[in-house]
Amino acid sequence: MAMTRLDGRVERGNRTRQLVLGRTVEIASVEGLEALSVGRLATELQLSKSGVFALFGSKEELQLATVREAGRIFAERVVRPAEEEAAGVGRVWRLCELWLEYSRGRVFPGGCFFYEVIAEFDARTGPVHDAVVRSQRGWTALVERTIGEACAAGELRADTDVPQLAFEVVALMETANVVSVLHGEENAYRRARVGIAARLRAAAVDPERVPQVP
């Protein structure tokens, strides 16, 4: 009986934690991680302050948990679906398409969650800054690895400068995100697709393997 009560409390705690994190990623994507507070979350979600505080213990841990939750959502919406595509130009294109749709579809209300928090914490120090850096480096490494796999598969030229190509396609995606969020312009995503397709076509062994952008 005691174990049943304990399991019930743990389950309720996990549900409450997910409820809180579902809101914190929304807030942070628009207003930044510094906008998070136990009082605000308790009021908006109709929870007790002590209950919210007990889940995280500090504002810093709340911010770190929010970065982790955003990373989990990003992996579900972008990384894992791209990995279903066979290694090659198709996977590179799919990864870029998924990222652009993640931004365009406002998985997070402020567009790309990480673009927002990188701008907030880029010049700071501390655990939150370090977590944001790890997320950014992980994304860059994934793009580079995906492009490298396309080279190894013989679909991109062997002399492709992988870090440079990765840098350029990421820059196009991030520019589309910021222009769309700032101006409410959907056409920025098409412009990014056109640019990415052009760069991949220039590097491809068979340019016809790169989709045409309508």
Q: Output the CA–CA distances (angstroms, integers) from residue 26 to 47, 60, 83, 112, 202, in the order listed.
A: 18, 17, 26, 11, 38
Q: What is the pLDDT of residues 53-102, one digit of tens each?
A: 999 999 999 999 999 999 999 999 999 999 999 999 999 999 999 999 99
- Report the distance separating Cα 132 and Cα 120, nearest Å: 10
What's the CA gap between 24 and 18, in Å, rounded?
Answer: 10
Q: What is the pLDDT of residue 14?
A: 82
pTM value is: 0.91
CB 123 within 8 A of CB 114: no
**Mean pLDDT of all residues belonging to the chain:** 94
CATH number of the domain located at residue range(s) 2-207 in this protein: 1.10.357.10
Q: How confident is the model at residue 208 (pLDDT cuts 50, 70, 90)?
A: very high
Cα Rg, the chain, nearest whole Å: 20
- What are the boundaries of each domain within the chain? 2-207
- Please tell me the predicted confidence (pLDDT) of residue 173: 98
